[in-house]
Amino acid sequence: MNKIFNSADECIADMESGAAIMLGGFGLCGIPENCITAIVKKNIKNLTCISNNAGVDDFGIGLMLKQGQVKKMIASYVGENAEFERQLLSGELEVELIPQGTLATRCLASGYGMPAIYTPAGVGTEVADGKETRNFNGKDYLLEYAFNADFALVKAWKGDAAGNLIYRETARNFNPLMAMAGKITIAEVEELVPMGVLDPNAIHTPGIYVHRIFQGTRYEKRIEQRTVIKRSGE
C-alpha cells in the first residue's frame, strides 16, 4: 500500500462537505497547517471539527471559521478566537465544550475500538446535561461516547514511507491520540524519510494507524502566547 502523497491537496481530495474531522495540536503547537490551508482553499463546508481549541482569528482552525466552513466545534478551550465568540453568540456555530481529559479519552476510545467510556469529569455540571450517569463504588460517572471522525489530520516532526511518526517535544500533544482515531488518518511531516531510517524505539505512532502521509512545506509555527523573562540588567 503506497501511503505517500505529494501534497495536502491530494490527501484531502476526497474530503466532502459535512465531514467530521479531528485536528491535532494544542493551541497553535503541532497543528496540521498544510491540511488546514488545503481545506480552506477547497472551501469544504459544514464541517464538524474536533480539536483541543479553535485556533486564533487568522491562523489554524480560525481560518476555517472565518470562511464559514465549520458547522460544529467540539473542543475543550476556545478563548483566543473573537470570530468563534461572534459565531457562537449569533447562533451560527454549534459548540460542544468538554473537559480536556474527556476529549483525550474519547479519542483514545475510538482508537481502541471502544464505543464509550465512563468518566467522573463533568458530573454535577452543565457538561452532564442529557447524559447517562452511572454509579460505581459510590461515585458517579458520565457516559461519554467515542468519536466517529471521518478524517484525523495530524502533524509530526518526522515520518517514513510506512507512516511511522515521531513528534517533537510539546508538539506531540493530541496528535498521537487522534492519529489512532480517524477512519482515514492523514499525517503531514516536516521530514519524510525512507523506511528503516527511524529508530523503532523512538516511534510514537506506528504506521498501521496512518493511511496517507506527505512532507509539508512553509511551516509558520506561530506562538499563541509569547512569554519572555527579562534578563538581569534589562
Rounded CA-CA distance 190/217 in Å is 7
Q: Which amino acid is at 55?
A: G
Closest CA to 215 of 7, 1, 3, 2: 7
The edge-to-edge listing of strands for the beta sheet with 139-145 is 116-119, 139-145, 133-136
CATH number of 8-114+147-215: 3.40.1080.10
Answering whether pTM is above 0.85, one says yes
**pLDDT bucket at 1, cuts 50 / 70 / 90:** confident
Do 108 and 178 meet the contact criterion of CB atoms below 8 Å apart?
no
> Whole-number mean pLDDT of the chain?
93
* DSSP-derived 3-state class of residue 135: strand
Q: Please list the alpha-helical segments (H only) found in the chain.
A: 8-11, 33-42, 61-66, 82-90, 100-112, 175-181
Q: 73-82: string of b/e by CB count within 10 Å (b at 16+)?
A: bbbbebebbe
pLDDT at residue 106 greater than cutoff 80: yes
Q: Tell me the per-residue pLDDT of 166-205, one tens digit each, with 9 for 90 and over.
A: 999 999 999 999 999 999 999 999 999 999 999 999 999 9
Closest CA to 52 of 15, 16, 71, 79: 79
- Choose between 227 and 23: higher pLDDT: 23
Q: Which amino acid is at 138?
A: G
**pLDDT bucket at 18, cuts 50 / 70 / 90:** very high
What is the DSSP secondary-structure string of 85-119?
HHHHHHT-SEEEE--HHHHHHHHHHHHHT-SEEEE
Instruction: Count CA atoms closer than 13 A to 8's CA, side-chain side.
Output: 23
